[in-house]
Amino acid sequence: MSLSRRLLDILNFLALIAMLIAVYMALIEAPDAINVDPAIRPAQRIIYFHVPSAWSSMLAFFVAFIASILYLITKRVRWDIWARSASELGIAFTIAAIISGSMWAKPAWNTYWTWDPRLTTYTIVLLLYIAYFMLRGAIDEPSRRARLAAVYGIFAFLSVPLTFMSIRWWNTIHPVIVDNPENPNKFGLGPNMRITFMFTNIAFLILFVTLLANRISLGWAEERLDALKEKLNF
């Protein structure tokens, strides 16, 4: 077994432990949020899943952005694998954030969907990165695919803050109906809740790094498989 394989195993194990503890803390250890309606207190615990997912997705897209730039500069296959792996994870975490967000929205605001700036931005971001993979899927030649996807990855990432800003400014014409559930300060997290919140964020960070490492290693395996197929004229 190679060293990188062993490291990956350690990482996998660490992520498992961290996530188990995170689930325990989020569901059992953390106290109920006393400042919300009793009926939605269980739903409030989604925050421990929702916010780390959202942050992980942004981190993933940022990694993809940097990898895209590095690809254009160096033209190394490595950075293309990084870019597409991170973008994929970003999509997964974005979907997790959107779904968990609407799971919270239903009991809290009696609707699955609000045109909240963050939720709307995340949906646009999801579309951006679906477009990124559609672009990849429509190009057969690997080096061209990597090059053009990297260009799009740079444009896509840079548009995220602009989109967020425009949607937030747009909404200021309407009264703000609800406080933002994602903001822990406004929410007044108690000390125990804050520890849980911090820990789940760290656990998700470990999960993100683990998934990325696994996805990248899978990416290399795909490369080798393609090379073998080509050799065998498969």
Partner 1 sequence: MMTTPLIEVTRLRKAFGRHRVLKGIDMRIEAGSSVVMFGPNGAGKTTFLRILATLSKPTSGTVRVAGVDIRDNPEGIRQYLGLVGHAPLLYDDLTAYENLRFYARLYGMEASGERIRELLERVGLWHRRHDLVRTFSRGMVQRMAIARALLHNPPILLLDEPDTGLDPQAAEMMTDLLREIGGSERTIIMTTHHLERGLALADRVLILVGGEIVFDQPASDIDYQELRPLYDAYVGEGVVA
Partner 2 sequence: MKRYLDVVWAVLWKDLRIELRSKDVFTSMAVFAVLAVMIFNFAFELRVPDKTVVIPGVLWVTITFSGVLGLGRSFISEKDRGSIAGLLLAPVDRSAIYFGKMLANLLFILIVEAFLLPLMVIFFNTNFVSPALLLLLFLGTLGFAAVGTIFSGLAVNTRTREILLPVLLFPVMLPVLMAGIRATIGLMEGDSIADLAKWFNLVFFFDILYIVVAYLTFDYVVEE
- 102 lies in the binding site for partner 2 (CB under 8 A): no
Interface with partner 1 by CB under 8 A: which range of 28-36, 38-46, 85-93, 135-143?
A: 135-143
Task: Identify the residue among 6, 76, 106, 144 touching partner 1 (CB under 8 A).
Answer: 144
Pick between residue 113 and residue 198 the one whose CB is nearest to partner 2. 113
- 166 lies in the binding site for partner 2 (CB under 8 A): yes
Q: What is the 3-state secondary structure of the chain?
A: CCHHHHHHHHHHHHHHHHHHHHHHHHHHHCCCCCCCCHHHHHHHCCHHHHHHHHHHHHHHHHHHHHHHHHHHHHCCHHHHHHHHHHHHHHHHHHHHHHHHHHHHHHHHHCCCCCCCHHHHHHHHHHHHHHHHHHHHHCCCCHHHHHHHHHHHHHHHHHHHHHHHHHHHHHHCCCCCCCCCCCCHHHHCCCHHHHHHHHHHHHHHHHHHHHHHHHHHHHHHHHHHHHHHHHHCCC
Interface with partner 2 by CB under 8 A: which range of 16-24, 41-49, 53-61, 156-164?
A: 156-164
Interface with partner 2 by CB under 8 A: which range of 143-151, 186-194, 203-211, 217-225?
A: 143-151
Binding mask 194-233 for partner 1 (x = CB under 8 A): --------------------------------xx--x---
Binding site for partner 1 (CB under 8 A): 141-144, 226-227, 230
Binding site for partner 2 (CB under 8 A): 72, 124, 127-128, 131, 134-135, 138-140, 144, 147-148, 150-152, 154-156, 158-159, 162-163, 165-167, 169-170, 173
